[in-house]
Amino acid sequence: MLVIQLDIRKSSGFKGYQPLLSSNNDPANSGDMHEGYEVGWEELDPKSKDPTRSDDGAMAGANVWPNELPDFREAILKY
């Protein structure tokens, strides 16, 4: 299932889909009513072996893109 493949909890770099009720900022609630898609900065046309991208810190790592939506990556990065 696409949602499971993109789940942010599967990414060590905190990237991907964050579904409804997946986070909870108030212990009195069973989950927050928001969802999102977390991505980090990346070039639309990446350069191979770019030394400036070698250490991006704790949020480093590849973004997670759905194969089923071929124009999604470009649309998000242009936004």
pLDDT digits (tens, 9 = 90+) for 9-39: 888 788 899 988 888 888 888 888 888 999 9
- Mean pLDDT over each residue of the chain, to the nearest integer: 81
Q: Around Cβ 12, how many Cβ atoms within 10 Å?
A: 9
How long is the chain? Answer: 79
Give the DSSP letter of residue 70.
T
